[in-house]
Chain A
Amino acid sequence: MSWNDILALLRISLHAMVPITLTAVGEIVGETAGLFNIGLEGTLLISAFAAAIAAGAAGPTVGLLVGMGIGAAIGLVFSIINTYWKGTQMVTGIGINLFAMGFVAFGLIKLGAPGFHAVPRAAQLAKWRTPMGAMSPLILVALILPFVVYWFLKRTRAGLILKAVGEAPEAADVAGIRVNRVRLLATTFGGLLAGLAGAYMSVAWMGLVTKEFSAGRGFIALATVVFSGLNPLLALLGGFIFGFFQGLAEWMKTLPSKPIPSQFVSMLPYIVTLLVVSGAIGRVRFPKALGEPYKRE
């Protein structure tokens, strides 16, 4: 393994880290406020698809913005159902995932080649030239954002309100906080970050959309949230670990000699996710009111 190989591996890992970390940080904000969104996988898919189309029409920046907007819209639908309408969060999430699988496959057929859409080179977000090779600017965003969110959750009044809504909605309500509105904002923000992650995948990283290309990243992000115990800084670490193994799998597939069949290499990220999560559980404590709709007595 040469120095160049190590650099290439690190580069792929950092790129693979971005969507997981962004999605996980968004979900941490949502879960702190008490909503458990398993529709992240679907959010990633739809926003990646929408961003790819928008980028093809109006450039990469618009693509990223549209992806964020679509993600936020899905987060908003999820949170309206699960705050004001007292829905069942798991079922809504499953619904979003099913809808996304159908919608993106449908849209890809409509675009022409079934199951595949390439984003033109001009519509992709330009990568920065660094000593380590071409890097996407969004890596920087994914590296900085967890610190900002950490500061927001631990050091600001708004962060405290978010926590209060997740831990003791009744008490928060009595204190004059609009519980449902706070939850709505938190989950919409979570959807927005998932949308950015999806847009990054199609517009800034892979440069294509397929009907299965989110490949469980939404669920790996959920695993990262569990691993982190709702701490954004640990989500950065978790995102890097999972990104590294995805990167490793990608890198091993490019090797000229094939030591193991590619199917087993493809399993690697999922096995590692399971191992890490089963090692991490035990010390993790979730908000008391997570997963419950809030109802006034």
Chain B
Amino acid sequence: MSDRTQPLSSRLLRGAHRTLTGLHPALESLLAGVVGLLVGAVLMYIWGYDPWRAYIALFRGAYGGSYEWASSIARGTPLVLTALTFSICLRAGMFNIGAEGQMYMGAIASVMIALFALPAGLHTIVGLVFAALAGAAWSLVPAFLKLTRGVHEVISTIMFNWIGRWFALYLAIYVLVDPARAEKTLSIPVGARFPILVRGTDLSYSVFLAVAVALVIYFVLWHTAVGYEVRAAGLNPTAARYGGIRNKRTMFLSFILGGMAAGLAGAAIVMGLPPTYAIFGGGAMPQLTNIGFDGMAVAMVGRNHPIGIILAALFFGGLNAGGRVMQFYGSNPVPLEMVRVVMGAIVLTMSIPELFRLFPAIKKQGERFVGFWRRAAQRSPRRSA
């Protein structure tokens, strides 16, 4: 019997912790990945594509060589950061699905450094600080609404995603627009960009930023007192409060940390992804759209653990990079959007706890069914004889 005295959000979360820290976490993630790819294959088959050839193209495009690896890592870099946003808050007991909006704000804030000149290294740092602050500011309002008015964070963060999207679009079109090319914003100055790491690819030094943030968050969550408080509050807020943990403080802290990570994701895209180093306001910000939502899938497959997230981001970054190859491959190429279908199926599968036990249960039902028919088949000839 479960404890009904806890608030709604922590009850909704109890299951999440069970699901996401299961008995064989890595194997379950792997299994969910396989199920997701299978669902994608079935859908491709129904729509008249050849799933086998498509997947070969996809995985060759993702991991077929050093160029492919580099572009997979480049696609995975912002996903690490938005995944961290989701998982810090989940560890603290909240569903922050606002990484998308916080990431828009971070991206637009980092474009602002194009308005003034600074020495090269300092300029980059100022851009990152701007982005982190903007992301944190955008996540503070939902945190504040939750604390003072009890507004569930799922509703407030999603509303802030939309508000942030329109606000960023407004700034991109009217304020930070490139006077020479109206469809994009000002480009980040050359000195403030992340240098390219592998020549000829779009992999830049921003990958180190993502890994460093993941490691810092790992350290904070598992090796400091504050991190212990955050995790304790997420596992059982009532017990944590009796233990002297100030839940409001941990809640604010996790939202701020999460917002900073999402803001940095925006900066990593704008300051670290060639060729233009700018946001396309005219095309409704295509290179930013959905990075925040994809991050949630990465967080779940990565089991909300910073190290797991890095591995999962490598997989999803590979799907995105490979999908770009897949959509131009063969006479009947599969659109890139298939990748997000696979992601959704993976997350759906991840929500089923103890996935492994489900298969024996289905097998048992199947055997019972087969046995029933076998017995029936054995009985019938005897009767006729």
Q: Interface on A for B, CB 8 Å cutoff?
A: 36, 38, 42, 77, 81-82, 85-92, 94-103, 105-107, 109-110, 170, 215-216, 219, 222-223, 226, 261, 263-264, 266-267, 270-271, 273-274, 277-279, 281-282, 286, 288-293, 297
Query: A291 vs B11: C-alpha distance in the bound complex, in angstroms?
Result: 6
Say yes or no: A170-B1 contact (C-beta < 8 A), given A85-B352, A282-B150.
yes
What are 26 A-B contacts defined by CB distance under 8 Å?
Answer: A81-B351, A85-B358, A87-B19, A90-B15, A90-B154, A90-B351, A92-B348, A95-B349, A98-B297, A98-B340, A100-B344, A107-B47, A109-B335, A216-B159, A216-B161, A219-B155, A226-B152, A263-B167, A266-B166, A267-B162, A267-B167, A270-B162, A278-B149, A281-B149, A291-B12, A292-B2
A42 and B11 CA atoms in complex are apart in Å by 23
Inter-chain contact B340/A87, CB cutoff 8 Å:
no
Please tell me if B51 contacts chain A, counting CB pairs below 8 Å. no
- Return the contact of A89 from the options B15, B149, B335, B349 (Cβ within 8 A): B15
B14, B152, B340: the one within 8 Å of A292 (CB): B14
Count contacts on B: residues with CB < 8 A to the other chain: 62
Query: How long is the Cα–Cα vector from A293 to B15 in the complex, in angstroms?
Result: 8
Selected contact of B351 from candidates A95, A282, A288, A290, CB within 8 Å: A95
Write the B28-62 contact mask toward A (1 if CB under 8 angstroms, else 0).
00000000000000010001000000000000000
User: Which residues of chain A have C-beta atoms less than 8 A from B11's C-beta?
Assistant: 290-292
B338 at the interface (CB under 8 A from A): yes
What A residues does B150 contact at CB under 8 A? 281-282
Are B353 and A87 interface neighbours, CB within 8 A?
yes
Q: How many A-B residue pairs have CB under 8 A?
A: 182
Alpha-carbon distance between A278 and B351 when the two chains are bound, in angstroms: 29
**A99–B350 contact, CB under 8 A?**
no
Bound together, the chains give a CA A9 to CA B155 distance in angstroms of: 26
Interface of A is mostly: helix
Q: How far is the CA of A36 from the CA of B152 in the complex (A)?
A: 12
With beta carbons under 8 angstroms apart, the residue of B1, B300, B342, B354 that contacts A91 is B300
Interface string of B347-384 (1 = CB under 8 A from A): 11111111000100000000000000000000000000
In the complex the two chains form, is B350's CB within 8 Å of A95's CB?
yes
A289 and B4 in contact (CB under 8 A), knowing A91-B19, A264-B170, A281-B149?
yes
| Shortest beta-carbon distance from B100 to chain A in Å | 11
Whole-angstrom distance from the CB of B90 to the nearest CB of chain A? 9
Main secondary structure of the interface of B (DSSP, over half): helix
Complex Cα distance, B345 from A42, in Å, reads 13
For residue B16, CB closer than 8 A to chain A, the reply is yes
Given known pairs A102-B340, A286-B8, the reply for A274 and B159 (CB within 8 Å) is yes
Residues of B within 8 Å of A89, CB to CB, are 12, 15, 351
Point out the residues of chain B lying under 8 angstroms from A270, CB to CB: 159-160, 162-163
Neighbouring A residues of B95 by C-beta, 8 Å: 90
**Cβ-defined contact, B293 with A98, below 8 A:** yes
In the complex, are the beta carbons of A103 and B341 less than 8 A apart? yes
Tell me whether A36 and B12 are in contact in the complex, defined as CB-CB below 8 angstroms, given that A86-B353, A274-B151 are known contacts.
yes
> Are B151 and A88 neighbours in the complex by a CB distance under 8 Å?
no
CA distance A100 to B353 in the complex (A): 22
* Shortest Cβ gap from B336 to chain A (Å): 9
In the A-B complex, list the 9 residue pairs whose CB atoms are closest, starting with the nearest.
A99-B344, A102-B340, A95-B348, A95-B347, A98-B344, A91-B351, A88-B15, A102-B341, A263-B170
Contacts of A97 in B (CB 8 A): 293, 344
| CB < 8 Å neighbour of B344 from A103, A107, A222, A263 | A103
Chain A nearest CB from B382 CB (Å) reads 37
Contacts of A91 in B (CB 8 A): 15-16, 19, 300, 347, 350-351
Q: Point out the residues of chain B lying under 8 angstroms from A109, CB to CB.
A: 335, 337
Q: Contacts A102-B341, A110-B335, A293-B15 known; A264 to B351 CB distance under 8 Å?
A: no
A92 to B297, CA, bound (A): 11
Docked pose: A270 CA to B156 CA in angstroms: 9
Contact A90 B149 (CB under 8 A): no
Tell yes or no: B290 within 8 A of A by CB. Answer: yes
- Is B70 an interface position by the 8 A CB rule? no
**Which residues of chain B have C-beta atoms less than 8 A from A263's C-beta?**
166-167, 169-170, 173
Question: Which residues of chain A have C-beta atoms less than 8 A from B97's C-beta?
Answer: 94
Task: Please tell me if the beta carbons of B344 and A96 are within 8 angstroms of each other in the complex.
Answer: yes
Cα A100 to Cα B167 in complex, Å, equals 25
The complex places the Cα of A289 from the Cα of B5 at a distance, in Å, of 10
Chain A residue with the shortest CB-CB distance to B141: A274
